[in-house]
């Protein structure tokens, strides 16, 4: 079965986020004065095969633990769904 995971990786609370601070400062300089904080992160869309939802969930958890997120500094959350129609952007010919 084909699965699609959207993995969100962000810095843990209390970890300095210079990229987020720069973006926040730039937004305020553009007139968005109500912006008080920006935290940056990464979004990864992963298309893969797994036998069932439990195997897909375990695979994403392992991917995050081994490569996608540094557990000392980052947290990873994800949304997982069966991919009824494969996204053409993710399919490699």
Check whether 88 has a pLDDT greater than 70.
no
> How many CA atoms are closer than 13 Å to the CA of 5, on its beta-carbon side?
23
pLDDT, tens only, 21-79: 999 999 999 999 999 999 999 999 999 999 999 999 999 999 999 999 999 999 999 99
**Among 3.40.50.300, 3.30.1280.10, 3.30.470.20, 3.30.420.130, what is the CATH number of 2-82?**
3.30.1280.10
Q: Rounded to whole angstroms, how far apart are CA atoms 65 and 69?
A: 6
Q: Is residue 20 within 8 Å of 65, Cβ to Cβ?
A: no
DSSP-derived 3-state class of residue 85:
coil
Radius of gyration, alpha carbons of the chain = 17
Q: pTM (2 decimals)? A: 0.81
Domain ranges in the chain? 2-82
pLDDT value for 12:
96
Max Cα distance, the chain (Å)? 50
């Amino acid at each position: 079965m084909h699965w699609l995971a959207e993995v969100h990786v962000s810095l843990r609370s209390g970890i300095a986020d210079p990229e987020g601070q720069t973006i926040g400062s730039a937004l305020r300089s553009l007139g968005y004065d109500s912006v008080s904080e920006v935290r940056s992160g990464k979004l990864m869309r992963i298309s893969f095969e797994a036998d069932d939802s439990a195997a897909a969930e375990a695979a994403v958890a392992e991917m995050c633990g081994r490569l996608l997120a540094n557990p000392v500094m980052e947290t990873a959350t994800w949304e997982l769904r069966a991919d009824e129609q494969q996204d053409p952007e993710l399919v490699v010919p």
